[in-house]
Structure 1
């Protein structure tokens, strides 16, 4: 009797260990973005005088109670709602933009990087399709690109740059 309970408990714990959110460290995106503000009414709900005059619903767009949801969310998080309006480069950042674009600008850099990253991940996971358990492939794929903060700080100090102190390195 005790042995069957122990086996049952062990099987239950083993099955529970298989759970969890497997998408947490997955390299693919499963959503179009956060929707934390999708169900919270920004202003008090009101009953319209005529239901026939209501505009058609626009998911992710404006509505009568929340005419500018994205700007309201940015403001609630401490940002500048005006930054959502495409209006060119702010005057405070013109010098920076001119400096970084002095050698030219690739207009489709995001798409190019996404394609190159996808190809890189496919090359890195060539023989990893067969597996018994779930494995975090993120660190495996990018381990050669990882920076060692302590070596970088030492390199910059040796070059004569002022580098802030860091916590002691764990050995």
Structure 2
């Protein structure tokens, strides 16, 4: 169960996701120096819109993709707050795929694996090429492909849907609304 998984807040406090039980969650691997980083603004807008209805975004910084989040947890927290006004909970930097992947992302990926590339979409075609060049071992597997992969979790802790990096936060709003 997702709620029993141990995590650390961005300030280093060990906890579990138990305190979010009964809420709709959007779990995201974030990065401060990524082409998708402006999605932090859209994520914060979702959080402000739906937060009063028991919706929470949980951000997990990740430096696995072309080293796009090299800072310390404190630097990442300050960057997110100062540049994008982030108020949703942030957690310590984690790995989201491979042998050192955090247990949470292993479970999320197992429940909502990557569904494949759509080569008619130029963004996906570009990221297929990047993955093929930099991370060929992960190109065709169910893993997370880049920063800002988003997992929507219902109030019972079920992974309802995975939104890959190129899906902008505002396009997720209807799916959130259905669960609230």
State TM-score, norm by structure 2: 0.18
Point out which structure has higher relative CO (alpha carbons under 8 A, 6+ apart): 2
Please identify which structure carries the higher helix content: 1
State TM-score, norm by structure 1: 0.19
